[in-house]
Amino acid sequence: MKTIKGPGLFLAQFVGDAAPFNSWDAITKWAADIGYLGVQVPVWDARLVDLEKLAASRDYAQEWAGKARENGVEVTDLSSHIIGQLVAVHPAYDEWVDGFAAAKVQGKPRERTEWAIDQVKKAITATNHLGIGQHVTFSGGLCWPFIYPFPQRPQGLVETAFDELARRWRPILDHADEMGVDVCYEIHPMEDLHDGDTFEMFLDRLDGHPRCNMLYDPSHYVLQCLDYLDNIDIYADRIKMFHVKDAEFNPTGRKGVYGGFQPWVNRAGRFRSTGDGQVDFGAIFSKLAANDFDGWAVVEWECALKHPEDGAREGAQFVKDHIIRVTPHAFDDFVGGSADEKTNRKFLGID
């Protein structure tokens, strides 16, 4: 068993143009001041990070991480979520997600895909330069618009989509293997990897690639009515990262899983600040500790109701209260004893 590291904070939802959220120095000081020991960093936000420099220079990467360390927090991981999203985009979403990309490839889907693949590879190289062993991203999605099986999908449609998804990601995962970095896909709606079955379909096409892993976020499973505790046991060997994010699902006679096109606050399923939803984090932290999870508990604030700064501050204490310092010995060792094979056979009456 291992003691989970934390608390960490994902900075993507906090970066802004106003202090202290507009610079690397200020935001890391702020995170430390409200109780965090680590930060997870979105590589697409130039206010915090220069990805090109991180990928080009190990010395620069260490200097950049050192500034955060001086301010009281470690860099837990780098995130390329919205860049990974662009590795595979169905045409229905082209204009919607085009703003995630560099201006030079906007409106050019093929060039945008190649750009995204290159950027994710650079983020993985930067992860290596920081001495970190895992990186989080999204898979993108080619067949998400066809998630509901009516009208009946053309035969082979899903299989073709997953074949192509694996083809695009294999060179990225091979690069990650060279860098000694696990790629952790956040299992998430809109991505083709949105539950266990879809992750396994992808993994099968990659021949069980050792660098293909998961970020575990129970909030997305609550909203799908998926057993988020059983999921930990099933994928214990592939779960390498953990987002602490809460959620609730309160269906009514008017709405359920699909949400009725309502805004977040009016949906049956909605994200909440840690401790305000329905996720059993006590059980989650216990299972992760028992399964030797060797990573950080990183708070991701997404809440339909609470102010983000309140959610962040409360989240730090919430994680501290839930981390289990694992025991170095069994509680009943004091009544134990040692014996040899001959003695054991005598105890069992088989000598």
Q: Which of 64, 17, 65, 12 has the alpha carbon at shortest distance from 40?
A: 12
pLDDT in tens, 259-302: 999 999 999 999 999 999 999 999 999 999 999 999 999 999 99
pLDDT in tens, 18-65: 999 999 999 999 999 999 999 999 999 999 999 999 999 999 999 999
pLDDT in tens, 173-188: 999 999 999 999 999 9
Burial state string for 314-332 with b = 16 or more CB within 10 A and e = fewer than 16: bbbebbeebbeeeeeeeee
* Alpha-carbon distances, residue 26 vs 2, 13, 14, 50, 332 (angstroms): 32, 15, 12, 16, 49
The overall pTM is greater than 0.85: yes
**In contact, 278 and 246? CB cutoff 8 Å:** yes
Residue-by-residue DSSP string for 192-204: S--SHHHHHHHHH
* Domain residue limits, the chain: 5-347
Q: Is 323 helix (H, G, I), strand (E, B) or coil?
A: coil
What is the fold, at CATH topology level, of the domain defined by 5-347? Answer: TIM Barrel (3.20.20)
